[in-house]
């Protein structure tokens, strides 16, 4: 009988090749979808922006330029509120305590409380001042609270003691805003158009140099990533007592400023607890245009979000649209929690 010819070995080893083959790719995760959209929005924006979104329950975060230190402007009022409420938690003072605001105590720019300050001053409780500085972004109310806790340094100490990252508080509105404009503070800037008139008298090069110096090293700088981490910790009760946490989050839910920013991108059933910030404008150059907060889905899932525009020559609505689009991207990527009730929109 003829000998069988040798059977050649196959050119590949089936078991080894199957083990090394990539597994079938499933659909992208929510994190991947949102990361791609946040990066696209940030890259397409005409200006310097920092964007960060943190899933509070799962702990993952996505960002674009999220570690850049950008001007906070009135976002920093959050740290004043936390400092005040931390003092309440320690028993240093109570929300019913009052302070008197006199004409010489008034601040600069937006301060609705100014209309109530008569010849004898205006007496307000800490709770009234907190509502004014968070919900209306009232600079005079904020300054009064800063004086109550011991000055800007006391706010920075609170930030450091609670390990809030590299968040800076700055010297306060009066000094910071006048310095950024190339001016020196004087009481007349609390009234009328004196500030704007003096600023307009400056040579454009001198004013631009002062604004550039502010933007190069903002005394109120913070990163979007540090802010979303802080907001997540606030939501989780890590920064204040349960009572003070609930109190501050309720104030933030009633914020009146920034209707066209993050809030403008909300879908039905979604809620927002937030704080805005807006800096000075020189010609087409806008600075410190921000909105940060906690975005809650109808199923109760919470996202901390920060959109911070350091500087941009984009139009006002284009800047607002970036914030709205970030909110819409979060909502579009959201995947409802399995088994969660949908009756949680009022959380």
Distance CA 187, CA 282 (A): 23
Question: What pLDDT shows up at residue 333?
Answer: 97
pLDDT tens per residue, range 92-110:
999 999 999 999 999 999 9
pLDDT tens per residue, range 205-230:
999 999 999 999 999 999 999 999 99
> In 3D, which of 108, 128, 118 has the Cα closest to residue 189?
108
Q: Please name the residues in contact with 82: beta carbons below 8 A apart, sequence gap of 6 or more.
A: 158, 162, 234, 239, 240, 248
Distance CA 152, CA 138 (A): 16
Q: Indicate if the pLDDT at residue 20 is higher than 70.
A: no
Question: What pLDDT shows up at residue 26?
Answer: 82
Q: Which of the four pLDDT bands, split at 50, 70 and 90, describes residue 190?
A: very high
Reduced to 3 states (helix: H, G, I; strand: E, B; else coil), residue 231 is helix
Distance CA 289, CA 308 (A): 6
pLDDT tens per residue, range 46-73:
999 999 999 999 999 999 999 999 999 9
> What is the reported pTM?
0.90
Question: What pLDDT shows up at residue 337?
Answer: 72
Distance CA 228, CA 232 (A): 6
**Domain chopping of the chain, boundaries:** 29-333
pLDDT tens per residue, range 235-290:
999 999 999 999 999 999 999 999 999 999 999 999 999 999 999 999 999 999 99
Q: How many CA atoms lie within 13 A of 108 on its CB side?
A: 24
Strand partners, 51: 64, 307
Residue holding tokens 């039905």? 268
Q: Which of the four pLDDT bands, split at 50, 70 and 90, describes residue 2?
A: very low
* Cβ–Cβ < 8 Å for 285, 301: no
Q: Which CATH number is correct for 29-333, 3.40.50.920, 3.40.50.620, 3.40.710.10, 3.40.50.360?
A: 3.40.710.10
Q: Indicate if the pLDDT at residue 344 is higher than 80.
A: no
> In 3D, which of 264, 255, 254 has the Cα closest to residue 318?
264
Question: What pLDDT shows up at residue 4?
Answer: 45
Residue percentage of the chain with pLDDT more than 70: 90
Q: Which of the four pLDDT bands, split at 50, 70 and 90, describes residue 328?
A: very high
Q: Please name the residues in contact with 240: beta carbons below 8 A apart, sequence gap of 6 or more.
A: 82, 85, 86, 89, 234, 248
Question: What pLDDT shows up at residue 25?
Answer: 73
pLDDT tens per residue, range 122-178:
999 999 999 999 999 999 999 999 999 999 999 999 999 999 999 999 999 999 999
Give the chain's end-to-end CA distance (angstroms, integer): 87
Q: Which of the four pLDDT bands, split at 50, 70 and 90, describes residue 299?
A: very high
Question: What pLDDT shows up at residue 142?
Answer: 97
Residue holding tokens 């933007």? 215
Q: Which of the four pLDDT bands, split at 50, 70 and 90, describes residue 336?
A: confident
Question: What pLDDT shows up at residue 180?
Answer: 97
Helices in the chain by DSSP H: which ranges?
14-20, 30-44, 77-90, 126-135, 139-149, 152-161, 173-180, 194-201, 204-216, 224-235, 242-253, 316-333
């Amino acid at each position: 009988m003829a000998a069988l010819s040798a059977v050649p070995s196959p050119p590949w080893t089936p078991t080894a090749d199957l083990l090394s083959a990539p597994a079938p790719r499933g659909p992208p995760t929510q994190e991947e979808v949102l990361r791609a959209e946040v990066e696209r929005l940030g890259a397409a924006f005409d200006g310097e922006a920092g964007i960060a979104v943190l899933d509070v329950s799962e702990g993952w975060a996505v960002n674009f330029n999220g570690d850049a230190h950008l001007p906070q402007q009135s976002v920093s009022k959050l740290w004043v509120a936390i400092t005040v409420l931390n003092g309440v938690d320690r028993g240093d003072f109570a929300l019913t305590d009052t302070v008197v605001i006199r004409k010489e105590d008034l601040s600069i720019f937006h301060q609705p409380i100014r209309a109530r300050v008569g010849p004898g001053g205006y007496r307000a409780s800490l709770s009234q001042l907190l509502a004014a500085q968070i919900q209306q972004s009232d600079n005079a109310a904020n300054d009064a609270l800063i004086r109550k806790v011991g000055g800007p340094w006391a706010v920075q100490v609170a930030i450091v003691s609670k390990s809030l990252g590299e968040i800076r508080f700055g010297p306060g509105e009066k000094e910071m805003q006048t310095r950024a404009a190339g001016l020196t503070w004087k009481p007349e800037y609390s009234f009328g158009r004196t500030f704007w008139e003096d600023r307009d008298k400056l040579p454009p090069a001198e004013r631009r140099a002062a604004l550039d110096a502010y933007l190069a090293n903002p005394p109120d700088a913070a990163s979007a990533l540090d802010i979303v981490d802080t907001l997540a910790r606030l939501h989780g009760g890590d920064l204040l007592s349960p009572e003070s946490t609930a109190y501050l989050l309720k104030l933030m839910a009633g914020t009146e400023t920034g209707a066209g920013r993050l809030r403008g991108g909300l879908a039905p059933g979604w809620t927002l607890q937030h704080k805005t910030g807006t800096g000075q404008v020189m010609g087409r150059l806008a600075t410190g245009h921000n909105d940060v907060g906690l975005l809650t889905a109808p199923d109760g899932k919470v996202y901390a979000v920060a959109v911070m525009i350091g500087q941009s020559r984009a139009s006002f609505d284009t800047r607002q649209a970036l914030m709205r689009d970030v909110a819409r991207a979060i909502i579009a990527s959201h995947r409802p929690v399995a088994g969660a009730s949908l009756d949680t929109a009022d959380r």
